[in-house]
Structure 1
Amino acid sequence: MSARKRISAEQRKQERKEVSFAVLRNVPSSPRKMRYVADMVRGMEVFKALGVLKFSNKEASAKVEKLLLSAIANWEQKNERKAETGELYIKTISVDEGATLKRLRPAPQGRGYRIRKRSNHVTIVVDTFKKEEQEQN
């Protein structure tokens, strides 16, 4: 590895250590359905978002709720204290397309229709409100 690449890799590692996040990979639902749930909670305070997800009737909301709990736990682990109400918020939540399983369904007259079983990857980054206020001042 060249020196320049090593330096940028070390810089990325350092930035990643300061951020608390959680990643959920290969969720067997379409990215479009997951993005609908992600848009509901984007930018919200985490405990309010947990309430919204708990009472949503979307199947994807249960998976996002579990992932958000994991992100909160990761933040608590890094900061060595419990998160208080109103302290954390969802900084970014992104849904990316995962692998697609391709299947064939029999169709009339000897044809076959393709079925695409989509999957997705979800990433949640949580941060404190206070850090944002300090950067603005």
Structure 2
Amino acid sequence: MRLLADLIRGLDVEKALNILKFSTKHTSVPMEKLLLSAIDNWKQKNQGEDVATANLYVKIIFVDGGRMLKRMLPAPQGRAYRVRKRSNHITIIVDSRAK
């Protein structure tokens, strides 16, 4: 997730959406949905102002660690390995550039 966040940080929204849409990384789909949600939230906050004329860009994006599911995996000789299934929290702030 952090690799994709670094790719789209500071870019225009249209360019960031294109990068996420055509990326081969597994996490690009949820991040694209999150960016679309951030754009819709910006529209609601700004009374439906047009995105194209507002010149939106990804102002801030960061990825923090989320909860971790701890599971056990059988191992030889009666032992077990711990498997940590990690998740994360993503924060995206979208803003318009000054004209």
TM-score band (shorter)? over 0.9
Aligned to 1:56: 23
If asked which structure has higher relative contact order (CA below 8 Å, sep 6+), I would say: 1
Identity of aligned residues (%): 59
Alpha-carbon deviation of 1:86? 6.8
TM-score (norm 1): 0.68
Q: For the Cα contact (< 8 Å) 1:47–1:86, is it kept in 2?
A: no
Misfit runs of 4+, over 3 Å: none
Aligned counterpart for 2:59 among listed residues 65, 69, 91: 91
The answer to whether the 8 Å contact 1:43/1:89 transfers is: yes
Matched position secondary structure for 1:59: coil
Paired residue type of 1:87: N
Q: Which structure shows the higher helix fraction?
A: 1
Does residue 121 (structure 1) correspond to residue 51 (structure 2)? The answer is no
Shift of 1:44: 0.5
- CA RMSD after TM alignment: 1.3
Whole-Å Cα distance in 1 between the matches of residues 77 and 10 of structure 2? 51
Return the offset for 1:59.
Answer: 1.3
Q: Which runs of 5+ in 1 are unaligned?
A: 1-33
Secondary structure in 2 matching 1:70: helix
When Rg is computed on C-alpha atoms for both structures, the one with the higher figure is 1
